[in-house]
Amino acid sequence: MTPPMSGTSSASPGQATSSVSTASAPTTASVGDTLALSGQKPEEKVDVTVVKIVDPATAKEAFSSPKAGTKLVAVQFRLRNTGTAVYDDSPSNGARLVDSEGQQFTDTTAGPGFPGSVTIAPGDTALGYITFAIPTASQVAKIQFALDSGFAPSTGQWTVS
Protein backbone atom coordinates (compact mmCIF):
# COMPACT_ATOMS: atom_id res chain seq x y z
CA MET A 1 0.00 0.00 0.00
CA THR A 2 1.25 3.49 -0.83
CA PRO A 3 1.74 5.65 2.27
CA PRO A 4 -0.53 8.70 2.33
CA MET A 5 0.86 12.16 1.73
CA SER A 6 0.24 14.62 4.50
CA GLY A 7 -3.37 15.73 4.16
CA THR A 8 -4.62 12.74 2.15
CA SER A 9 -5.95 9.26 2.78
CA SER A 10 -4.50 6.19 1.12
CA ALA A 11 -6.04 4.19 -1.74
CA SER A 12 -5.01 1.62 -4.28
CA PRO A 13 -2.84 2.88 -7.17
CA GLY A 14 -4.89 4.86 -9.67
CA GLN A 15 -7.78 5.23 -7.23
CA ALA A 16 -9.23 8.51 -6.04
CA THR A 17 -8.56 9.47 -2.44
CA SER A 18 -10.47 11.84 -0.23
CA SER A 19 -8.86 14.99 1.08
CA VAL A 20 -8.22 15.36 4.81
CA SER A 21 -7.16 18.92 5.61
CA THR A 22 -4.55 18.26 8.33
CA ALA A 23 -1.40 19.75 6.74
CA SER A 24 -0.38 23.30 6.08
CA ALA A 25 -0.99 24.61 2.58
CA PRO A 26 1.53 23.35 0.01
CA THR A 27 3.95 25.65 -1.79
CA THR A 28 2.34 26.44 -5.17
CA ALA A 29 3.88 26.90 -8.64
CA SER A 30 3.04 26.40 -12.32
CA VAL A 31 4.14 23.62 -14.66
CA GLY A 32 7.77 24.32 -15.59
CA ASP A 33 8.57 25.97 -12.25
CA THR A 34 11.00 24.52 -9.71
CA LEU A 35 10.18 24.22 -6.01
CA ALA A 36 12.77 23.59 -3.28
CA LEU A 37 11.42 20.81 -1.04
CA SER A 38 12.80 19.47 2.22
CA GLY A 39 12.75 15.96 3.61
CA GLN A 40 12.34 14.75 7.18
CA LYS A 41 16.07 15.22 7.86
CA PRO A 42 17.73 18.68 7.55
CA GLU A 43 20.26 17.39 4.98
CA GLU A 44 17.48 16.21 2.60
CA LYS A 45 16.77 18.95 0.07
CA VAL A 46 15.60 18.44 -3.52
CA ASP A 47 14.64 20.95 -6.21
CA VAL A 48 11.57 19.47 -7.91
CA THR A 49 10.31 20.58 -11.32
CA VAL A 50 7.15 19.41 -13.09
CA VAL A 51 8.63 19.56 -16.59
CA LYS A 52 5.55 18.59 -18.61
CA ILE A 53 2.25 16.73 -18.52
CA VAL A 54 1.26 14.24 -21.23
CA ASP A 55 -2.56 13.97 -21.31
CA PRO A 56 -3.50 11.45 -22.52
CA ALA A 57 -0.38 9.28 -22.29
CA THR A 58 0.08 6.02 -24.18
CA ALA A 59 0.59 2.75 -22.32
CA LYS A 60 4.04 1.17 -22.61
CA GLU A 61 2.54 -2.21 -23.53
CA ALA A 62 -0.93 -3.21 -24.71
CA PHE A 63 -1.63 -5.09 -21.46
CA SER A 64 -1.10 -1.91 -19.44
CA SER A 65 -3.71 0.08 -21.37
CA PRO A 66 -6.18 1.87 -19.10
CA LYS A 67 -9.55 0.31 -18.29
CA ALA A 68 -12.63 1.52 -20.17
CA GLY A 69 -13.62 4.97 -18.94
CA THR A 70 -10.11 5.88 -17.80
CA LYS A 71 -7.05 7.46 -19.38
CA LEU A 72 -3.37 7.67 -18.50
CA VAL A 73 -1.74 10.98 -17.62
CA ALA A 74 2.07 11.05 -17.39
CA VAL A 75 3.84 13.78 -15.43
CA GLN A 76 7.54 14.34 -16.11
CA PHE A 77 9.50 15.33 -12.99
CA ARG A 78 13.08 16.59 -12.69
CA LEU A 79 14.63 15.97 -9.27
CA ARG A 80 17.90 17.75 -8.40
CA ASN A 81 19.50 16.88 -5.08
CA THR A 82 20.57 20.18 -3.47
CA GLY A 83 21.11 18.66 -0.02
CA THR A 84 24.18 17.14 1.57
CA ALA A 85 22.81 13.57 1.81
CA VAL A 86 22.04 11.03 -0.91
CA TYR A 87 18.35 11.19 -1.91
CA ASP A 88 17.09 7.59 -1.90
CA ASP A 89 13.33 7.32 -2.31
CA SER A 90 10.46 6.06 -4.43
CA PRO A 91 9.23 9.28 -6.09
CA SER A 92 5.90 7.80 -7.16
CA ASN A 93 4.93 7.27 -3.50
CA GLY A 94 5.10 11.03 -2.90
CA ALA A 95 3.20 12.13 -6.02
CA ARG A 96 -0.51 12.88 -6.37
CA LEU A 97 -2.64 14.19 -9.23
CA VAL A 98 -5.70 16.29 -8.35
CA ASP A 99 -8.51 16.73 -10.86
CA SER A 100 -10.81 19.73 -11.29
CA GLU A 101 -13.36 18.09 -8.95
CA GLY A 102 -10.77 17.83 -6.15
CA GLN A 103 -10.36 14.05 -6.41
CA GLN A 104 -6.78 12.91 -5.71
CA PHE A 105 -5.13 10.03 -7.57
CA THR A 106 -2.05 7.96 -6.78
CA ASP A 107 0.31 6.59 -9.41
CA THR A 108 -0.29 3.51 -11.54
CA THR A 109 2.28 1.09 -12.93
CA ALA A 110 1.17 1.59 -16.53
CA GLY A 111 3.24 3.79 -18.81
CA PRO A 112 6.78 5.14 -18.69
CA GLY A 113 8.17 5.93 -15.30
CA PHE A 114 10.89 6.39 -12.75
CA PRO A 115 12.29 3.09 -11.52
CA GLY A 116 10.66 1.94 -8.27
CA SER A 117 13.44 3.64 -6.33
CA VAL A 118 15.91 6.36 -7.27
CA THR A 119 19.24 7.22 -5.68
CA ILE A 120 20.52 10.73 -6.42
CA ALA A 121 23.87 11.92 -5.06
CA PRO A 122 24.19 15.54 -3.88
CA GLY A 123 24.40 17.79 -6.96
CA ASP A 124 23.01 15.12 -9.33
CA THR A 125 19.70 15.14 -11.21
CA ALA A 126 17.15 12.51 -12.26
CA LEU A 127 14.42 12.89 -14.89
CA GLY A 128 11.43 10.56 -15.22
CA TYR A 129 7.68 10.17 -15.51
CA ILE A 130 5.08 9.25 -12.92
CA THR A 131 1.88 7.98 -14.53
CA PHE A 132 -1.68 8.20 -13.20
CA ALA A 133 -4.93 6.52 -14.33
CA ILE A 134 -7.89 8.91 -14.04
CA PRO A 135 -11.45 9.00 -15.40
CA THR A 136 -11.55 9.98 -19.08
CA ALA A 137 -13.71 13.03 -18.34
CA SER A 138 -11.40 14.31 -15.57
CA GLN A 139 -9.30 17.42 -16.13
CA VAL A 140 -5.94 17.69 -14.38
CA ALA A 141 -5.95 20.68 -12.02
CA LYS A 142 -2.91 20.16 -9.76
CA ILE A 143 0.14 17.98 -9.27
CA GLN A 144 1.43 17.47 -5.71
CA PHE A 145 4.80 16.05 -4.63
CA ALA A 146 6.56 15.46 -1.31
CA LEU A 147 9.86 13.76 -0.46
CA ASP A 148 10.21 10.73 1.83
CA SER A 149 7.43 8.79 0.06
CA GLY A 150 4.98 11.59 0.86
CA PHE A 151 5.83 11.90 4.56
CA ALA A 152 8.10 14.98 4.32
CA PRO A 153 7.00 18.18 6.08
CA SER A 154 6.83 20.22 2.85
CA THR A 155 4.65 19.50 -0.17
CA GLY A 156 5.02 21.15 -3.57
CA GLN A 157 1.95 21.86 -5.67
CA TRP A 158 1.87 22.77 -9.36
CA THR A 159 -1.29 24.30 -10.80
CA VAL A 160 -2.22 23.09 -14.28
CA SER A 161 -3.89 25.65 -16.55
- The predicted model gives 16-30 an average pLDDT of 56
> What pLDDT does 16 receive?
44
Contact at 8 Å (CB) between 26 and 155?
A: yes
pLDDT score, position 62: 74
The total of other beta-carbon atoms located within 10 Å of residue 24's CB is: 11
Provide the pLDDT confidence category of residue 51 given band limits of 50, 70 and 90. very high
Q: pLDDT value at position 27? A: 75
CA distances from 161 to 27, 43, 100 (A): 17, 33, 11
Query: Which pLDDT score is estimated for 110?
Result: 59
CA Rg, the chain, in Å?
Answer: 15
- Given a cut of 60, whether residue 52 has pLDDT beyond it is yes
**Residue 111: its pLDDT value, please?**
54
Q: How far apart are CA 102 and CA 150, in angstroms?
A: 18
Full-model pTM:
0.81
Domains of the chain listed by start with CATH number: 16-159 (2.60.40.1240)
Q: Which of 13-27, 74-88, 115-129, 141-155 has the lowest mean pLDDT?
A: 13-27
d(CA 123, CA 53): 25
Closest among 99, 108, 138, 107 to 18, alpha carbons compared: 99
Residue 76, SS3? strand
In sequence order, what are the beta bridge partners of 46? 37, 81
